[in-house]
Amino acid sequence: MSEKKQPDKILDFEYTQKDKRPDGPTEKVLWEGAPCFQVLIDHPQLDKGRNLRYFYSLVVFMLPLIAGVLVYWTTGSILGTVFILIMTVSFIIAFIPPYFLFNRYLKYNKTKYYVTNTAIHFYLDDGYRTIREQLSWEQIRTIRHSAQPEGLTVIHFLTKEEIAFRSYNFIDKETRQFPSFELLEDGEKTAKLLQNILRRNR
């Protein structure tokens, strides 16, 4: 497995950092963590959207090429050369950036999770901004977890009612039905901690 980030820590201090403070009064942070995106960077085969991006890039690459050859063959016009140039530019724009931009998005993603005595806070980085969402313990019906590749874990928060926001599955490239903590190291230990907190808040 790839080199791990610093392990998540169970904390016991007042949550007063100005740049990370949730809305509302001061809260005591019980746990904080973040997805281990380095695994997806080090193991690109886990990126299930990669092949689809490659297919679209190949289509964009081939269509101008075929069109350019046909135009040049039928008319002898310089337009064939222009189409080949368009093909080259399209290839550079459509084929190369998606792979590297997604890796860059993962590398600089600032998604982070905070668990306090009153709520669970999601700081979700969509690539343009960080969106802050939260769940109160009263909203949560149960907590489950599932294994992911390379020893990582996803923690699912099944809510009593439908929640307006969704978490993003970085492997399958789709949103989840319920909020979740994605790609956690030591996820089973974290899930047990959260389940204990949930029981105390009932």
Instruction: For residue 1, name the pLDDT band (cuts at 50, 70, 90).
Output: very low
Instruction: For residue 104, name the pLDDT band (cuts at 50, 70, 90).
Output: confident
Say how many residues make up the chain.
202
Residues 11-37 have a mean pLDDT of: 65
Q: Are 108 and 126 contacting, i.e. CB atoms less than 8 angstroms apart? A: no
Of 28-32, 72-76, 121-125, 165-169, which range is least confident? 72-76
Query: What pLDDT score does 95 carry?
Result: 61
Query: What pLDDT score does 18 carry?
Result: 41
Q: Report CA-CA distances (Å) from 77 to 62, 80, 88, 95, 189.
A: 19, 6, 18, 27, 68
Residues 6+ apart with CB under 8 A from 200: none
Q: Is the confidence at residue 58, as pLDDT, over 80?
A: no
Q: Are 190 and 65 contacting, i.e. CB atoms less than 8 angstroms apart? A: no
Q: Are 158 and 9 contacting, i.e. CB atoms less than 8 angstroms apart? A: no
Query: Per residue in 114-129, pLDDT tens?
Result: 999 999 999 999 888 8
Using a pLDDT cut of 70, give the percent of the chain over it: 71
Query: Per residue in 73-87, pLDDT tens?
Result: 777 777 666 777 777
Query: Pick the residue with more confidence: 180 or 67?
Result: 180
Instruction: For residue 69, name the pLDDT band (cuts at 50, 70, 90).
Output: confident
DSSP-assigned states of every residue in 66-132: HHHHHHHHHH--THHHHHHHHHHHHHHHHTHHHHHHHHHHHHT---EEEEESSEEEEEEE-SS-EEE
Residues 66-78 have a mean pLDDT of: 74
Query: What pLDDT score does 28 carry?
Result: 87
Instruction: For residue 25, name the pLDDT band (cuts at 50, 70, 90).
Output: low
Which of 96, 95, 103, 93 lies closest to 170 in space, CA to CA? Answer: 103
Which of 142, 156, 154, 146 lies closest to 201 in space, CA to CA? Answer: 142
Q: Which residues of 158-196 are buried (b: 16+ CB within 10 A; e: fewer)?
A: ebeeebeeebbbbbeeeeeebbbbbbbbbbeebbebbee
What angle do helix axes 79-94 and 50-75 make, rounded to 10 degrees?
170
Structure tokens at 138: 């009263």
